[in-house]
């Protein structure tokens, strides 16, 4: 099934929107040296100047790293900005709906609720596997977007590639594939397949493998025309100068990042093996991310016990398919050993 034309997928008010044009949008030359166009203060360089609204320099550094063209990149204040923009661009409040896997990342539903868009969760299998046919069956003519997350949060597993492709190829709307954790997985990332799949939006982030959650920088990769819509709707200067500079600095530190990822993957295997041997541990789910899900006896009590010992994991025991489950992020060996030591001396109350 081919993609509906963007003119039919996009909300009419957004399709017809004439965006705000900033001083820095209208003047693009490099030769000028006197800038008296934006009511900035001439003192306090470099913070006196508005930052590049389209972050061109950073996108040119990012493009070869991510295997996309600069025009296929949107940068947002965290992935959360990209997720919110997907709703604001494609989904008419009170009318359209989105379909998403469940359980998954909580922000898709929060953004749907904020934008008054109906959210249709479709449960994954008991092993957190994706069944494309079940997901597609939940979509109707008012479904604008399907949300997938791979590796999925909180389960940690990659969704099967063939099933993702079935969803993408058999849905005429937009498919968001959130690959926040793809650096920890061996699967080929979907951002490298933008030319084959014009209806996908792939999400990446600086918050996980790149170790930069504090700077709030999310990425969306999609065909140029979709990125142009993001640029039209976003706040003019959505990425501040400090964030743009620090992101560029992280791209220069690619070797550190690669080393962190390798270290975390090695540590992950050790922590999971040690977990499986704990008396209270019922199950350790396979993972392709920098965290894993584990089912334990009396998860709420274990969680509270760890809090009392100054160790915080994520209690997912109230989430569908995650009864008695905790989600554990891989830390440094010292941090992970403190967690394991605490759990070894835990006595059920
Ligand atoms: C952590 C995470 C993100 C990152 O969000 P940011 O706003 O970029 O920090 C995105 N998606 C998923 C599924 C995540 O778990």
Strand partners, 146: 99, 175
DSSP one-letter code for 70: G
At residue 43, the 3 state secondary structure works out as coil
pLDDT in tens, 173-202: 999 999 999 999 999 999 999 999 999 999
Atom of ligand 1 nearest to the CA of 81: 7
Atom of ligand 1 nearest to the CA of 105: 13
The per-residue pLDDT of the chain, averaged, comes to 96
What is the pLDDT at residue 82? 98
DSSP one-letter code for 212: -
CA end-to-end span of the chain: 56
Residue 174 near residue 144, CB atoms below 8 Å: yes
Q: How far is the CA of 243 from the centre of ligand 1 (A)?
A: 17
Strand partners, 284: 294
At residue 329, the 3 state secondary structure works out as strand
Ligand 1-lining residues (CB < 6 angstroms): 78-80, 105, 149, 153, 178, 180, 205, 207-208, 213, 218
What is the pLDDT at residue 349? 66
pLDDT in tens, 307-324: 999 999 999 999 999 999
Task: Compute how many other C-beta atoms are within 10 angstroms of the C-beta atom of residue 41.
Answer: 9
At residue 328, the 3 state secondary structure works out as strand
**Residue owning the nearest CA to atom 5 of ligand 1:** 79
pLDDT in tens, 90-148: 999 999 999 999 999 999 999 999 999 999 999 999 999 999 999 999 999 999 999 99
Distances (CA, A) of 197 to 13, 101, 148, 151, 236: 26, 20, 15, 19, 28
Q: How far is the CA of 4 from the centre of ligand 1 (A)?
A: 28
What is the pLDDT at residue 29? 66
DSSP one-letter code for 319: S
Which of 279-283's residues contact partners 24+ apart within 8 Å by CB, and which partners?
280/343, 280/346, 280/348, 282/324
Residue 287 near residue 153, CB atoms below 8 Å: no
Rounded Cα gap, residues 220 and 331, in angstroms: 27
Question: What count of Cα atoms within 13 Å lies in the side-chain half-sphere of residue 297?
Answer: 10
List the structure tokens of 347.
């006595």
pTM of structure:
0.97
């Amino acid at each position: 099934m081919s993609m509906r034309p963007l003119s039919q997928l996009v909300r009419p008010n957004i399709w017809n929107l004439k965006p705000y044009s900033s001083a820095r949008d209208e003047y693009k030359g490099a030769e000028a040296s006197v800038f008296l166009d934006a009511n900035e203060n001439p003192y306090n360089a470099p913070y006196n100047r508005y930052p590049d609204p389209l972050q061109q320099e950073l996108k040119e550094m990012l493009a070869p790293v991510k295997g996309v063209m600069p025009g296929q990149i949107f940068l947002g204040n965290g992935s959360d900005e990209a997720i919110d923009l997907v709703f604001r661009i494609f989904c008419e409040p009170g009318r359209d709906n989105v379909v998403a896997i469940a359980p998954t990342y909580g922000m898709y539903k929060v953004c749907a609720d904020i934008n008054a868009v109906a959210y249709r969760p479709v449960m994954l299998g008991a092993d957190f596997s994706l069944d494309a046919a079940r997901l597609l069956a939940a979509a109707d003519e008012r479904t604008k977007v399907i949300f997938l997350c791979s590796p999925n949060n909180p389960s940690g597993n990659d969704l099967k590639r063939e099933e993702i492709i079935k969803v993408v190829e058999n849905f005429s709307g937009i498919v968001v594939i959130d690959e926040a954790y793809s650096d920890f997985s061996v699967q080929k990332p979907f951002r490298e397949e933008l030319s084959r799949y014009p209806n996908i939006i792939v999400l990446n982030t600086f918050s996980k493998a790149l170790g930069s959650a504090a700077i709030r920088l999310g990425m969306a990769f999609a065909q140029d025309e979709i990125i142009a819509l993001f640029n039209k709707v976003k706040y003019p200067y959505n990425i501040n100068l400090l964030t743009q500079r620090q992101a560029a600095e992280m791209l220069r530190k690619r070797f550190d990042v690669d080393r962190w990822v390798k270290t975390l993957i090695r540590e992950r295997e050790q922590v999971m093996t040690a977990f499986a041997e704990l008396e209270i541990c019922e199950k350790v789910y396979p993972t392709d991310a920098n965290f894993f899900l584990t089912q334990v006896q009396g998860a709420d009590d274990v969680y509270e016990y760890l809090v009392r010992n100054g160790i915080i994991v994520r209690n997912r025991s109230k989430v569908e398919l995650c009864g008695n489950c905790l989600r554990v992020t891989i830390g440094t060996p010292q941090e992970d050993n403190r967690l394991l030591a605490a759990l070894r001396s835990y006595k059920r109350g």
